[in-house]
Amino acid sequence: MFTTWVENFEAEAERRKLAGDPDWSVGARLHPDVVKSVQRFQVGESGDGANLIAKAGTGTYGTAVRMFVAEEQNHARMLEHLLRAAGQPTISSHWTDAVFVRLRRALGLRLELMVLLIAETVALRYYRALRDGSRDPLVADVADRILRDEERHVPFHQARLGRVGRAARAFWWLLFAGAVVTVAHDHGPGLRQLGVRPWQFVVETLGMVRRQGIMGGVAHEISR
């Protein structure tokens, strides 16, 4: 199964290489509240993934994970360039990212993937808001590129998790609901500038998870 995912990641890497980067020289305009929001997401995308890579092992799945991490690092790079195009700096850390990292590393691969799935799912709604709510072409372009990757990352993590029992699903939903509310509050000013109210972000993200059947008992077997 993960041979197909390796091929998928390889094809996307080749596509990105051929497409090249956006034209950073055109500059970007970001509202100060959106700047703060993008800075925080940039921190979250910038990890080296060493802990996940070590847990994934050296098989085909491990190869796919390294390619996944490379895509996440590319997101961080693009967001950094976007901030620079807007004349804004990156930040070195944020408390929400620190909490996610500690939680992910607490136990084994399965818990880390469950927490990662939360982050990737929240990112789906966030980058769609950034793409659709921004009036700046460069911002919309970068958000769309990242969003297309995140749409592939969610099923990738689901494929590795396989079937999840009721207790694990209940635990995941508890963490997920807390994360969505936290992000909506923490990024509230930026979301409002993008035309999304915090409560709307929460409701729509929860609804998206139900519609897409995320963590609803995926039929894939766990394999490498």
- Tens of pLDDT along 111-145? 888 888 998 999 999 999 999 999 999 999 999 99
* Residue 219: per-residue pLDDT: 31
Q: At what angle do helices 109-133 and 137-161 cross, to 10 degrees?
A: 160
| HEC readout, 69-89 | HHHHHHHHHHHHHHHHHCCCC
51 vs 81, more confident: 81
In this structure, how many other beta carbons lie within 10 angstroms of the beta carbon of residue 90? 14
* Residue 102: per-residue pLDDT: 66
- Tens of pLDDT along 186-201? 999 999 999 999 999 9
pLDDT tier at 205 (50, 70, 90 boundaries)?
very high
Mean pLDDT of the chain: 88
pLDDT tier at 181 (50, 70, 90 boundaries)?
very high
The answer to whether the CB of 95 falls within 8 A of the CB of 37 is: no
- Tens of pLDDT along 67-112? 999 999 999 999 999 999 999 999 986 666 566 666 666 667 888 8
* Residue 50: per-residue pLDDT: 84
* Residue 222: per-residue pLDDT: 26
Structure tokens at 134: 């921004």
Q: Return all residues near 198 (Cβ < 8 A) that are at least 6 apart.
A: 184, 185, 187, 188, 191, 192
Percent of the chain with pLDDT over 70: 89
The DSSP string of 115-135 is HHHHHHHHHHHHHHHHHHH--
* Residue 58: per-residue pLDDT: 86
